[in-house]
Amino acid sequence: MTQPQALAGLVAIVTGAGNGLGRAEARSLAAAGASVILNDLPGDAVDGVAAEIRADDGTAVVSAGDIGEWSTGERLLHTAVREFGQLDILVNNAGVLRDRMIFSMSEQEWDLVLRVHLRGHFITSRLATAHWRDRSKQAGGPVYARIVNTSSEAFLLGSSGQPNYSAAKAGITALTVTTARSCARYGVRANAICPRARTAMTADLMGAAPDAGPDPLSPEFVAPLVTYLASPAAANINGEVFVVHGGVAALLSPPSIREVFRAGEHGAPDGMWTLDSVASALAGFSTGPSAAGFACEEANSLATDTIGFGA
């Protein structure tokens, strides 16, 4: 699959396209031949990305607006159909941070992050899948449809200073899997990425880029996976979650059952739970040294492939 031909004739929406990951993803999709509709808040940033794409002989249209507004999603879909006659790809990337410990977080900080991340993903996904479902019914079979959502390892780890962000990203993962299951019959393929990337939003966390050699946390190394998942080659990939950064892409397994307790084995005469049988079952159980039992820390080992890359 050569990049200039991979997405020829296809139309993509990219949210949060004015900077960082969204910019890199939009440029990559356009370089692969897609016509792209760029969304971000109105301003020079998203207009500048459109200009960059056009300067490289790509096709880009801006449809600016607050992605948490239903009307913004409607305009995005309308722009795709009006300008190009179709929509084939949706890349949800728009996000914002308001980091604070749970006991210090204001309701406004909670609401804003959930609104931009989770509601933003829902609005575009809701409108795009309805569009594809209608097209599928008209066509009498599946149509070409790709969604790539942006989750985060924060939902895996329970990032302590990001209760709003972690909750939103967990919701996005669940939304992705649900969309994949419920819309596959119409041709929709929905997947999510958990990217590590040095962007304006993560600058305080990631620090400065290395002075020499490739920056393993550059958004440009996340964009190829997004472009591939948006392509015809990814027709058999659906409902998956990838951790991606630098030269690493890790495919996550779904949650698994760690241990099973049965009331009948702990003194419950009818096999149903009572307080005494619960106390007996969990008497020897401990979460252990981890701060939280329901957290996936395996992805932490991937850091050696990015932090200190090339050393």
| Bridge partners, 12 (sequence order) | 36, 89
CA 254 to chain centre: 16
Phi first, then psi, for residue 276 (nearest 5°) are: -65, -40
Residue 201's pLDDT band, with cuts at 50, 70 and 90, is low
CA angle 304, 310, 311 (to 5 degrees): 80
Mean pLDDT of the chain: 90
Asked if 263 contacts 231 with a C-beta cutoff of 8 angstroms, the reply is no
Lowest mean pLDDT among 9-13, 78-82, 171-175, 193-197: 193-197
pLDDT at position 256 is 85
- pLDDT above 50 (res 307): no
The residues, ordered by sequence, that sit 6+ positions from 165 with a Cβ below 8 Å of its Cβ are 97, 98, 99, 113, 117, 152, 154, 159
Residue 174's pLDDT band, with cuts at 50, 70 and 90, is very high
The CA–CA distances, whole Å, from 296 to 154, 230, 252 equal: 10, 27, 10
Q: Which residues of 128-160 are buried (b: 16+ CB within 10 A; e: fewer)?
A: bbebbbebbeeeeebbbbbbbbbbbbbbbbbbe
Residue 202's pLDDT band, with cuts at 50, 70 and 90, is low
pLDDT at position 247 is 87
pTM above 0.95, yes or no: no
pLDDT at position 46 is 97
Phi first, then psi, for residue 266 (nearest 5°) are: -135, 40
- pLDDT above 70 (res 1): no
Asked if 208 contacts 257 with a C-beta cutoff of 8 angstroms, the reply is no
pLDDT at position 160 is 83
Residue 287's pLDDT band, with cuts at 50, 70 and 90, is confident
Lowest mean pLDDT among 59-73, 84-98, 214-228, 280-294: 280-294
pLDDT at position 293 is 67
Average pLDDT rounded to a whole number, residues 9-32: 97
As annotated, the active-site residues are 152, 165, 169
Residues of the chain with CATH 3.40.50.720: 3-251
pLDDT at position 311 is 35
CATH numeric code, 3-251? 3.40.50.720
Q: Give the 3-state secondary structure of 51-95.
A: HHHHHCCCEEEECCCCCCCHHHHHHHHHHHHHHHCCCCEEECCCC
